[in-house]
Amino acid sequence: NRWSYFAQYYLSSVASGWDALVNSMDAELFRDEVSKYVAVVTLSKYGSNSISAPMYAALFDAKATSYQERLRPGLVSFTLYMIGMLLVFAPGTRIWPMFCRA
Length of the chain: 102
Q: Dihedral sign, CA of 40, 25, 13, 80?
A: positive
Q: Is the pLDDT of residue 102 over 60?
A: no
Digit-coded pLDDT (tens) for 10-63: 777 777 777 788 888 888 888 888 899 889 999 999 999 999 999 999 999 999
Amino acid letter for position 75: L
